[in-house]
Chain A
Amino acid sequence: MKEKLDILLLDDEAIVGNRLKPVLEKVGCDVELFEDPKKALNRIREKKFDIVITDIMMPDVNGIQILEEAREKSDITKVIIITGYATVAMAREAMDKGAFDMIAKPFTPDDLRSVIAKAADSLGYKKL
């Protein structure tokens, strides 16, 4: 097993990604950060990530498409949805399509760390 988790982080708001990337790197993850969902989608098609963290509401490509692509590429990939517009319908759709978890914005770095730790645990990484 690899030492570090490979994470793709996608949010069209630069401030979100720039804030979360160091949080994830601090707990020992390799993070590829994207603001453009199309570029993120291309990268997902190229590489199997352990974890994909994606916003939902984005121009051109939405988070559900990212979720579907990531799960199609690898059903082991854990997809975590982050959104400021959470609804029951959205939550259920995301879970139904294989999301690992969903977090509503605003959230703290601790909230994200806790979800990442759960995802890492289910991937067999015990020491995150």
Chain B
Amino acid sequence: MSIITITAGSYSNGKQIAKSAAKRLKYEYADSEIILSLVSKEFGVSESKLARTLKDIPSSIGMFSQAKQQHIIYIDTVFTEYMLKNNIVYYGAIGLPFIQKISHVFKVQIIAALEDRIKNKAKLDGESQEKARKTVVKEDNQQKKWAAAVYDIDLTDPNLYDLIINIGHIQDDDVENALQTIISTVEHKKFQPMTYSLRCVKNVAMSCRVRATLADIDPKIQVKSDKGTVYIYTKAIKKKAQDKGLEMKQKVMRIEGVKHVEVYVDNDLFSTVAHGQ
């Protein structure tokens, strides 16, 4: 009864390890493809557009178009609601900041030497080492920059993980050893869900659901939730603050499980100046 998340650089066999761990533990396997497919079904955004949002790198989340900011919110929402289930092995870096405060999520990072990953790609895809090197390095940079821009995290920060496994030369026995380590560690009682950790994941999922509900009004809002009480922090020009707050409150009160909403509207100084008000 736990959740395992596994992140890895490309061609480190992270996905294979995640799938094998799910199979051996009889857990459900999930990855970004599954999440994007669910987002597409629920929010009516094509999977190709969502996939582009995961590839494009803005200098910060605020530099994304409003549509892309909404896509990220939708992805976060589906991801966090997926985490309400237990017995999952999730492969990927999506949503990593949201699970940091959930004690029953066992966060694993798989690392492998760059040269071995390049060899792995060249062998798997039947291409030259030079071509493989370019792709692997590009993908590494892309993933790192995306996480920094969108989530403000450094994927190489060890504090994000409970366990970092260097799988050496990515041989079969390295993969098997990594798998054994993950399976035996997740059985520790400290990774079991409890009332507190289940409440944490529910709160995080609710906050994301609120952001998704209000994404068309303001994708930059900040939301905190606790047991059905929702706190929304937003900005508006003084003249429109009351209307904006009311509109948000009415929309959020319709979400299942919401009992009380408080909206805090700060004066949007930039817009006030821009509008001459």
Which residues of A are in contact with B by a Cβ distance under 8 Å? 86, 88, 91-93, 95-96, 98-99, 101-104, 111, 114-115
* 28 A-B interface contacts by CB (under 8 A): A88-B100, A88-B101, A88-B102, A91-B103, A91-B190, A91-B197, A92-B103, A92-B190, A93-B190, A95-B189, A95-B190, A95-B192, A95-B194, A96-B188, A96-B189, A96-B190, A98-B189, A99-B194, A101-B194, A101-B196, A102-B194, A102-B195, A102-B196, A103-B195, A103-B196, A104-B195, A104-B196, A115-B195
The answer on a CB contact under 8 Å between A104 and B188 is no
Cβ-closest chain B residue relative to A80: B195
Q: How far is the CB of A101 from chain B (nearest CB, A)?
A: 5
Q: How far is the CB of A113 from chain B (nearest CB, A)?
A: 12
- Bits for B174-217, please: 1 = Cβ < 8 Å to A, else 0: 00000000000000111110111101000000000000000000
Q: Which residues of B contact A98 (CB under 8 A)?
A: 189
Given contacts A95-B194, A98-B189, 20 further A-B contacts (CB under 8 A): A86-B196, A88-B100, A88-B102, A91-B103, A91-B197, A92-B103, A92-B190, A92-B191, A93-B190, A96-B189, A96-B190, A101-B194, A101-B195, A101-B196, A102-B195, A104-B196, A104-B199, A111-B195, A114-B195, A115-B195
Which residues of B, 67-117, contact A by the 8 Å Cβ criterion?
100-103
Q: Which residues of A contact B100 (CB under 8 A)?
A: 88
CA distance A98 to B190 in the complex (A): 9
Q: How far is the CB of A15 from chain B (nearest CB, A)?
A: 20
The answer on a CB contact under 8 Å between B103 and A95 is yes
Q: Which residues of B contact A95 (CB under 8 A)?
A: 103, 189-190, 192, 194
Between B101, B189, B194, the greatest number of chain A beta carbons within 10 A of the residue's beta carbon is seen for B194
> Residue A88 contacts which of B103, B192, B195, B199 (CB distance < 8 angstroms)?
B103
Cβ-closest chain B residue relative to A89: B103
Q: How far is the CB of B274 from chain A (nearest CB, A)?
A: 42
Cβ-closest chain B residue relative to A93: B190
Cβ-closest chain A residue relative to B102: A88
CA distance A115 to B199 in the complex (A): 13
CA distance A60 to B189 in the complex (A): 27
CA distance A88 to B101 in the complex (A): 6
Q: How far is the CB of A109 from chain B (nearest CB, A)?
A: 14
Q: Which residues of A contact B191 (CB under 8 A)?
A: 92
CA distance A101 to B195 in the complex (A): 6
Q: Which residues of B contact A115 (CB under 8 A)?
A: 195
CA distance A103 to B192 in the complex (A): 14
Q: How far is the CB of A94 from chain B (nearest CB, A)?
A: 8
Q: Which residues of B contact A88 (CB under 8 A)?
A: 100-103
CA distance A104 to B198 in the complex (A): 11
Q: Which residues of A contact B102 (CB under 8 A)?
A: 88
Q: Which residues of A contact B197 (CB under 8 A)?
A: 91, 102
Q: How far is the CB of A121 from chain B (nearest CB, A)?
A: 14
CA distance A86 to B189 in the complex (A): 17
Between A86, A92, A96, A98, the greatest number of chain B beta carbons within 10 A of the residue's beta carbon is seen for A92
Q: How far is the CB of A104 from chain B (nearest CB, A)?
A: 5
The answer on a CB contact under 8 Å between A91 and B194 is yes
Q: How far is the CB of B157 from chain A (nearest CB, A)?
A: 16
CA distance A96 to B188 in the complex (A): 7
Would you list the 7 A-B pairs with minimal beta carbon distance, nearest first? A92-B190, A91-B103, A96-B190, A102-B196, A88-B103, A95-B190, A104-B196
Q: Which residues of B contact A104 (CB under 8 A)?
A: 195-196, 199
Q: Which residues of B contact A91 (CB under 8 A)?
A: 103, 190, 194, 196-197
